[in-house]
Amino acid sequence: MSELTTVARPYAKAAFDFAVEANAVDSWLEMLVFAAEVSQNETIVNYLSGGASVEQATDLFLKVCGEQIDSKGQNLIKLMAENHRLLVLPQVLAQFSELKAEYEKEIAVDVTSAVKLKAAQQKVISAALEKRLARKVKLNCVVDANVVSGLLIKAGDMVIDGSIRGKLNRLATTMQS
């Protein structure tokens, strides 16, 4: 997986830099989402893996994408096809999305709780995290009864385990030491 990420990074960076310069980050994101979906289609994967020529692969891919991809996006597809990299489009999309979030000073935060959080609770959590992380926060709330009580918050590499289960695990570890 890290190998695909390494391969995808320069394409994502180039596309993102161009999108910022053209003030078209959102439209580029839409194009990449569509192209990544096409690249994951089983028929397309079999065709691209089956030894099709660069011209055939590019032609088929662009025909399938149709008007969903503008001329600049088509140039990216052509370049990736020449380098036999069309199958890494999902990783290009992931890298592009990360660059977009960084550019917009936004971070996705996963919040796991035992019960569904109310809107007021989500606002409080969001405000506290925005202050702590100095970024705009987008909450992804999930309900998991195994949490028992409290919250489990994951933002990038940061994990805040305020759940009862987490506290009990830390207490057990402390007592065993």
pLDDT tens for each residue of 43-101: 878 877 777 777 887 888 788 877 888 888 888 888 888 888 888 889 999 999 888 88
Q: Give the C-alpha separation, 156 to 161, whole Å.
A: 14
For 102-157, write each residue's pLDDT tens digit. 888 888 889 998 889 899 999 999 999 889 888 888 898 999 888 878 888 998 78
**Residue that is last in its domain, among 49, 75, 101:** 101
CA atoms within 13 A on the CB side of 97: 14
pLDDT for position 2: 62
Is residue 91 located within the same domain as residue 6?
Answer: yes
Is residue 126 located within the same domain as residue 167?
Answer: yes
Helix axis angle, 89-103 to 2-21, nearest 10°: 50
Record the tokens describing residue 1, joined without a space.
């997986």
**Residue that is last in its domain, among 41, 70, 101:** 101
DSSP run (H or E) holding 142: strand 136-143
Is residue 144 located within the same domain as residue 88?
Answer: no
Is residue 138 located within the same domain as residue 80?
Answer: no
- Give Cα separations from 94 to 62, 90, 91, 98 (angstroms): 21, 6, 5, 6
Record the tokens describing residue 81, joined without a space.
């096809």
Record the tokens describing residue 117, joined without a space.
């959080």
Residue 137 burial (C-beta neighbours within 10 Å; 0-12, 13-18, 19+) = buried
For residue 134, give the DSSP letter: T
Is residue 115 located within the same domain as residue 63?
Answer: no
Q: What's the pTM? A: 0.66
